[in-house]
């Protein structure tokens, strides 16, 4: 069994622990519930008093946020719109590729090249149609020219088109050595694809900034694996962040019912889906039909199982004491179904990572949290996935 990380809640479900330690320092719940239509309020947490403010509303299923070096912002809407936000004003960008905006598909992630000031590249992920009602997760690179895209092209397209339109993954993050990580989900109907190294489904990819394959990727030279794959056995990664100092790659991924996970990703490793999962089948509430065990040799166990169900989307890392010295180094995982953020404190006292504290923030205050980013001002920015979604800022109340 792979022991790169430790899973600390294998024998006792987290829900039971939460009840046992309610009010303790291990699992904590922020108090207060607010009308989603308010524009600003104070939200309490254990170690920080937070001011929550609406930056903009009337966004249709906003999906992702990215910041430009000048402090301006890019925001995607899943139906197929990209906005440049300047001084609080939204400007729609023209020149997007053809996008299949149905189901969970559409215009998804946006990311800015670390050397944007010298090369001007931005990156988009989207569901690319093939004309036969099938789609693939695609990576698009372009430059901004005023309010239009230029020099635009797909630099990577998933190897296989399929239907229906779900589990696209699509998160992007830059490693400390300038490589681009991209998640692709299992696409929903054939979970065993995530165990097939000749299939991009259910993987985390590592690419050069032009979409080519780094020569040191773990499966380069293996005739039985695709060169782009960095790790596999993932159901649908939609939280992805790289630690700016250690280079650690943290992900949150959707499980079936009760199987949401926090994982620490290592090159070439298998994270188990669907062969190993602790989630249940949505229809029968029994063990997932493709699951053979809850742990197995050769499978990296999750650092943490996110119970109760979170439906994790968006993952941020706080690296300073802007909010609180206690928050420095903590992970913040957004939740769609749970409509909250989980503050996760990790530690590795004997070489294996574990979550030692789990606090719930903004309980049902904002709605379905799709993306979380730390801005250049060190505040937290959030988009909520609704037909009348919004962009929010969270900052210290004082």
User: Which residues are designated catalytic?
Assistant: 167
Distance CA(269)–CA(144), nearest Å, equals 37
Ordered DSSP codes for 190-210: -GGGGG-TTS-TTEEEEE-TT
C-alpha torsion angle, residues 368, 262, 292, 288 (rounded to 10): -10
User: How far is Cα of residue 186 from the mean position of the Cα atoms in its chain?
Assistant: 15
Q: How many CA atoms lie within 13 A of 325 on its CB side?
A: 0
* Contact yes or no for 204/231 (Cβ under 8 A): yes
- What the block records as the tokens of 26 is 């291990």
Helix and strand counts by DSSP (H, E) for the chain: 2, 26
Distance CA(217)–CA(231), nearest Å, equals 10
- What the block records as the tokens of 17 is 């622990």
Residue whose token pair is 């979380």: 372
For 203, residues 6+ apart whose C-beta sits below 8 A from its C-beta are 183, 184, 194, 228, 229, 230, 231, 232, 234
248 vs 56, 150, 153, 173, 320, CA distance in Å? 33, 33, 30, 12, 17
Distance CA(366)–CA(66), nearest Å, equals 20
Residue whose token pair is 């394959």: 213
**DSSP letter assigned to residue 20:** H
Distance CA(375)–CA(196), nearest Å, equals 37
Number of C-beta neighbours around residue 282 at 10 A: 9
- Closest CA relative to residue 299, chosen from 353, 232, 362: 232
Ordered DSSP codes for 8-30: S-SSS-HHHHHHHTTTSSSEEE-
User: How far is Cα of residue 219 from the mean position of the Cα atoms in its chain?
Assistant: 24
């Amino acid at each position: 069994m792979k022991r790169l990380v430790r899973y600390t809640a294998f024998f006792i479900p987290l829900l039971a622990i939460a009840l046992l330690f309610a009010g303790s320092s291990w699992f904590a719940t922020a108090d207060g519930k607010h009308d989603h239509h308010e524009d600003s309020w104070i939200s309490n947490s254990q170690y920080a008093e937070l001011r929550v403010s609406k930056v903009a509303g009337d966004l249709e299923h906003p999906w992702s946020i990215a910041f430009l070096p000048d402090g301006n912002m890019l925001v995607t809407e899943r139906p197929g719109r990209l906005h440049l936000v300047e001084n609080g004003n939204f400007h729609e960008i023209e020149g997007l590729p053809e996008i299949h905006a149905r189901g969970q598909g559409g215009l998804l992630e946006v990311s800015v090249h670390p050397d944007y000031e010298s090369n001007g590249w931005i990156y988009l992920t989207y569901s690319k149609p093939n004309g036969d009602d099938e789609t693939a997760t695609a990576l698009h690179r372009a430059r901004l020219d005023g309010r239009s895209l230029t020099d635009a092209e797909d630099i990577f397209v998933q190897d296989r088109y399929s239907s229906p339109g779900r589990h696209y993954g699509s998160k992007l993050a830059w490693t400390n050595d300038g490589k681009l990580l991209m998640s692709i989900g299992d696409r929903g109907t054939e979970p065993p694809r995530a165990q097939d190294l000749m299939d991009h489904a259910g993987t985390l990819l590592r690419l050069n900034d032009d979409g080519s394959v780094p020569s040191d990727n773990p499966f380069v030279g293996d005739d039985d694996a695709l060169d782009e794959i960095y790790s596999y056995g993932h159901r649908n990664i939609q939280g992805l962040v790289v630690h700016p100092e250690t280079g650690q790659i943290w992900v949150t991924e959707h499980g079936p019912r009760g199987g949401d996970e926090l994982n620490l990703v290592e090159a070439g490793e298998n994270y188990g889906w669907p062969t190993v999962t602790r989630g249940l089948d949505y229809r029968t509430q029994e063990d997932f039909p493709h699951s053979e065990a809850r742990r197995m040799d050769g499978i990296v166990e999750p650092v943490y199982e996110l119970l109760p169900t979170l439906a994790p989307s968006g993952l941020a890392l706080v690296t300073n004491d802007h909010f609180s010295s206690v928050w420095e180094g903590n992970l913040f995982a957004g939740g769609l179904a749970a409509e909250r953020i989980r503050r996760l404190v990790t530690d590795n006292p004997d070489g294996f990572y574990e979550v030692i504290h789990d606090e719930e923030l903004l309980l049902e205050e904002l709605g379905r949290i799709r993306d979380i980013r730390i801005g250049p001002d060190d505040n937290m920015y959030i988009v909520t996935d609704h037909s009348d979604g919004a962009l929010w800022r969270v900052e210290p109340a004082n």
